[in-house]
Amino acid sequence: MDGPGAVSGDLHALEVLDRIARLLNSRADVEAALDEVLALVVRLLRLRTAWLFLSAPHGRRLGVTAAHALPPALSAGEWRPLRRGLCECFRQFYDGKLREAVNIVQCSRLDEARGDRQGLVYHASVPLKGTSGTLGILNVASPGRALFDPAALHLLTAAGEHLGTALERSRLFVRERQRARLFEAVERVSRALAAGSPAAAGAGAADDAENALAEVAGRFAEACVDALGVDAVSVALGEEELRLAAAATARGCPGSRPGSPEAQGHTLAWRAGVEVPGRSLLGLAWRFGKLHLGSAAGSRRRRLSVGVLDTPGSWAAVPVRVGSRRVGAILIERWAAVPWPEAAEEALRALGAHLALALESCRLRIRARELARQEERHRMARQLHDAVSQELFSLTMVLAAARHAARGGDPGRLQEALGQGEVRARAALEEMRRLVHELRPRPGRHRTVADLAAALGEFVRYHPLARGDRVQVRVEGPRRPVGGTTRLSAEQFETMWMVGREAVHNALRHAGARTVCVRLGLPDGGLRITVADDGAGFDVASVHSHGTGHGLSIMAERCALAGGWLRLKSKPGRGTVAVAWVPLRHQPAAPFREPVEAGG
């Protein structure tokens, strides 16, 4: 066996295949070690050179991937002769005729190569077979006009099968590793969304709701840049029309558009509110609900007019939908013109689903708060009707009696009627003062625990049933900056103010309590309010089963929306203890439950 690729005997052939197999099995990512593999094949088979064409993981198009010891005529211009045109081995591959190693005696690439070919005239083409098909072609050559004999071709076919199987295994490993990394990034984005601050209190108005949703979009964009390692992320929101909401760039990202959030993280001011063109990538993803992955290709660049980067190398446009309802779109941009990993589409769809869930959760929180405020307004209206209206009606009757007494010339009855009228007027005035106090302007963005104690004390002072020392309000907690001066968000302040106010009012008006004690504390990284009274008490389970504890349900729901809880301990004739707790650091809204009866 004197031709190229000659080996002496079956034993040597088995040794060659064994060494090739051992090298392939020692590499998890075979494609990253192809140069080493080709060098070993050339050395063991006593060849001059080898080069490799591989198809993409999803597709049949071949491209030169690796080479070893190419002559100058083939290596010129970064392997330019190997990158252009078709040749006989390509035709056999695309026609499905390349089933085993064959001699190629008319190679257009060798014939047309200009320069030093180092004596190469012919080459052999070897199919790289895997279990799912042929992955590519291995070409090998030696100087001279001698052809590879049948034994050498048989050995090359076996080596090609080893290499094809190893490549298939390697691609599966790389695909799963990429998928794991992508979904690890998705998990990081999901955690960032869950850890974000809640929407600001008072977000019932349309503009506040829009700001809250834009805040969610901004956190998402920042987290995506950090977790995915991309250069820019833009988020646009809308159901009837699509408008930019937020964007983020990598630190020091060059070449961004003027006014973009370069090196600053996301900014809600960056073109926020600008309507997105329907033919842009964002607009198309939003309108048709289809994910688009691409790389720089002339005519498509104009569709990126709403992106952050001037000329991105690759991008992904992701629809954001809640069921069939479109709520937004995401544009992810990279400078590098590299293809997206195979698992990218699945991971990007998951990112879109996470953002949709966060946006819908934010909308539901805003809606729940607005409904809670409406319920409070309805309760205030009922109190106006039940208390003030009744007092005023009684006052009109007393004044009518006084008028009759004055007409009848009965000074005694007149004085009595005027005295009763004064009492009724004072009672109505006290009730109005209390209600006006409850309707005072909401707290600012930040208040302290001491402010909450003062607000509850002021509420008690104006309550018509609170006299003398019947109600006590005090702050309990560590005497350091995290004590009474601990700052509360608007939501935390408003939630605990509402719970404390309602608990005190219920104790005085409905339970007939002689003494009510309100305590504020800071256990377990949160704010706790305890309201204990010596009133009539009630059966907690009975209230829930008969559906009469509507006010208690509202208190529990407000605590759950702030990530906390409400617990009750009460028995008929033995008073009531209501305990509410909310975290000082934001936690996701807790699932709503009716206020439970505390043990002990």
pLDDT single digits (tens) 122-147:
899 999 998 888 999 999 999 988 88
Output DSSP code: residue 262. T
Question: Measured between alpha carbons, how far is 454 from 452 in angstroms, rounded to an integer?
Answer: 5
Q: Which amino acid is at 496?
A: M
For residue 191, give the amino acid letter: R
| Alpha helix positions (H), 45-123 | 72-83, 88-94, 108-112
Question: In the prediction, which pLDDT does 320 show?
Answer: 95
Q: What is the pLDDT of residue 321?
A: 93
Residue 382 scores a pLDDT above 70? no
Contact 34, 40 (CB under 8 A): no
Average pLDDT over residues 570-575: 88
CB burial class (10 A; 0-12, 13-18, 19+) of residue 108?
A: middle
Q: How many CB atoms lie within 10 A of CB 56?
A: 12
Residue 302 banded pLDDT, cuts 50, 70, 90: very low
Pairing type for strands 596-597 and 565-570 reads parallel
In total, the chain counts a number of residues equal to 600
Over residues 16-50, the pLDDT tens digits come to 778 887 887 787 777 778 888 888 888 888 889 99
Report whether pLDDT(316) > 90. Answer: yes
Residue 352 in this model has a pLDDT that exceeds 90: yes
- The residue written with tokens 């108005």 in the block is 205
SS3 content of the chain, % helix, strand, coil (to 5): 50, 20, 35
Residue reference for tokens 């010129």: 76
Closest among 106, 171, 100, 103 to 132, alpha carbons compared: 171
Q: Would you tell me how many other CB atoms lie within 10 Å of the CB of residue 288?
A: 11
What pLDDT score was predicted for residue 353?
A: 93
The model's pTM is: 0.57
- The mean pLDDT of 438-453, rounded to a whole number, is 64
* pLDDT tens-digit map of 209-256: 778 888 899 999 999 999 999 999 999 999 888 988 888 888 656 544
Share of the chain above pLDDT 70, in %: 77
* Mean pLDDT for all residues in the chain: 79
With residue 511 as reference, give the H or E element that holds it.
none
Single-letter residue type at 14: L
